[in-house]
Structure 1
Amino acid sequence: MKELSGKKLAAEIKAWCVDEVKKLKAETGSSPHLLVMQYGEDAASKAYTNRIAKNCEKIGIEFEYQQFKDDPDAFLAKLKSANQDPEITSIMVQQPLPDELKDSLEMINPKKDIEGITSASLGKLFAGYETLVPCTAEACMEILDYYEIPLKGQRAVVVGRSNIVGKPVSILLQQRHATVTMCHSRTRDLKAELQNADIVVAAVGRPKLITAEMLNEDSIVIDVGTNFVDGKLIGDVDFDSAAEKVKMITPVPGGVGTVTNQVLMRNIVKSFKNLH
């Protein structure tokens, strides 16, 4: 078994971002500027925001954080003004959001939509146009390319159908001429689907859903899962058993998530370039 670590790849993307930000600042006199907006006090979202802030600082990206409590009108007003503000080149709205604000994600200027989550961004992706791609889906493809894993004609099974991972990664794989089957937590015979797969992308959000007996010995497994069980981060695949059987597998942590963090930074740089 070969472990598909994301650490070296993430370091390379980070180095590219650092160099690119320096060049952009020299050329334009300004740097990419990220606004992160949070409504409420979700602790996990705040912790994630703190990690983003640290990554931005290391790369030279300007970081701004605004938290709102019990004032949806102020939240919407800030989002509208940020869309129009030329100094703010990237916008990220943290989730979860209350029901009355869930549609606010659609308000994000697509050119500043660094997570690729608006219908405008997703529509461009599905239609084959260049756009900012959801970071985790892009990270999966980056890992496959980094380890020179061929995709053309390969049977890929994507487990998960979310708009931020499952659906976009299935489109990206199809664009690279893989034959894609989409499964999910309610697929009738998941084992039968997985045993025929050359490539498995596990992104269903259920810890250790996929076990070694469900996989074949030539499988290449990309585990997107980030599940906390008893204080430990584990994936959607039972890593210990699967690693003894499959051809290649990403670890959790140290795999897709590590790369995703830097793909987000790269999207911030790209959004700046799109606006200048």
Structure 2
Amino acid sequence: MKELSGRKLAAEIKESLIKEVENLKSETGAAPHLIVLQYGEDAASKAYASRIEKNCEAIGIEFEYQQLINQPEKFKALLKKANKDTKITSIMVQQPLPAELKDSLEMINPQKDVEGITSASLGKLFVGLETLNPATAEACMEILDYYDIPIKGQRAVVVGRSNIVGKPVSILLQQKHATVTMCHSRTRDLEWELKNADIVVAAVGRAEMIKGEMLDEDSVVIDVGTNFIDGKLLGDVDFASAAEIVKALTPVPGGVGTVTNQVLMRNIVKSFKNLHRVK
């Protein structure tokens, strides 16, 4: 079994971005600027924002964090202000959000939507137009490309149909001419689907749900899962049993998540370039 580590790929993307941001600062006199907006006191969201801040600092991206509690209208006003502020070139709205703020995701200026989560961004992805793709979905494709995994004509099975991973990665795989099957909690015979797949993307959000005996020996498995169980990070695939069966597999941690972090940084740089009309 070949382990598809994302660490080297992530390091290469990071190194390239550091140089690019330096050049952009020289060329434009400005830097990419990300604002992260959080509503409420979710500890995991706050920890994630801290990791993003460290990644931004390492690359030269300006970072701003705003947290509001029990002020929904002020939160929306802050988001509207960020949309109009020419200094701010990227916006992230942390989830989860309360019911009264669910529509705030659609308020994000699509040009600043570095997570690719608005209907405008996803719609462009669907019809094949240039846009900022969801970082995790893009990271899956980056890993396949980096390790020269054939996609054209291959049968790909995506387990999970979220708007930020499952659906977008299925579209990206189709754009590379894979034949894609979407699986989910209502799929009748998941094991049959997996056994007949050349490429499996596991993005269901259930720790070690997919066991080695459910997979084919010639399959390539991309594990998107990030499940914290008893303080340990686990994927959606049982790594130990799958490693005994499949041809290639991404580890957790050190796989898709590692690359996703840098793809997000690249989206931040892209949004800056789009807004400043820099090629």
Aligned to 2:227: 227
Instruction: Report the secondary structure of 2:262's partner residue.
Output: helix
For structure 1, which segment, 185-194 or 83-92, has the greater mean C-alpha deviation from structure 2 after superposition? 185-194
Q: Deviations over 1:118-151 (max 9, x none)?
A: 0000000000001000000000000000001110
> Distance in 2 between the 1:186 and 1:48 partners?
31
Alignment match, 1:66: 66
Residue in 1 that maps onto 2:83: 83
Alignment deviations for residues 4-56 of structure 1 (CA, whole Å, 9 cap, x no partner): 00000000110111011001000000000000000001000000000000000
Q: Secondary structure at the match of 1:222?
A: strand
The gaps in structure 1 that reach 5 residues or longer are none
Match of 2:155 in 1: 155
Task: Kindly tell me the number of residue pairs found equivalent between the two proteins.
Answer: 276
- The aligned counterpart of 2:261 is 261
Q: Which residues of 2 match residues 78-227 of structure 1 at below 5 A?
A: 78-227=78-227
| 1:189-239 deviations in Å (ceiling 9; x for gaps) | 100000000000000001111101110100100000000111100000000
> RMSD of aligned C-alpha atoms?
0.5
Distance (whole Å) between structure 1 residues aligned to residue 122 and residue 130 of structure 2: 10
Please give the alpha-carbon distance, in whole angstroms, between the structure 2 residues aligned to 1:261 and 1:111.
Answer: 20
In the alignment, the residues of structure 1 paired with residue 90 and residue 160 of structure 2 have an alpha-carbon distance, to the nearest angstrom, of: 27
* Counterpart Cα distance in 1 of 2:89 and 2:154: 38
1:142 alignment partner AA: E
- 2:39 maps to 39
SS class of match (2:76): helix
What residue in structure 1 maps to residue 57 of structure 2? 57
> Any idea what SS the aligned residue of 2:156 has?
strand
* CA distance in 1: counterparts of 2:164 and 2:71, whole angstroms: 27
Give 1:66 deviation, angstroms.
0.3
Give unmatched runs, 5+ long, in structure 2.
none
Q: CA deviation at 1:185?
A: 2.3
Instruction: Find the aligned partners of 1:55 and 1:175 in 2 and give their Cα distance.
Output: 30
Aligned to 1:5: 5
CA distance in 1, matches of 2:56, 2:9: 18
* Matches of 1:157 and 1:40, distance apart in 2: 36
Tell me how far apart the structure 2 counterparts of residues 260 and 166 of structure 1 sit (CA, whole Å): 14
What one-letter code is carried by the residue in structure 1 that aligns with 2:247? K
TM-score, normalised on structure 1?
A: 0.99
How far apart are 1:90 and its partner, in Å?
0.1
Distance 2:64 2:136 in 1: 23
Taking the aligned partners of 1:191 and 1:63, their CA distance within structure 2 comes to 44
User: 3-state DSSP class of the match of 1:137?
Assistant: helix
* Secondary structure in structure 1 of the residue aligned to 2:141: helix
Give structure 1 regions of 4+ aligned residues with deviation exceeding 4 angstroms: none
CA distance in 1, matches of 2:41, 2:27: 39
SS of the counterpart of 2:104? helix
Percent identity, aligned pairs only? 80
Distance of 1:128 and 1:61 partners within structure 2: 28
Could you tell me which amino acid in structure 2 is paired with residue 255 of structure 1? G
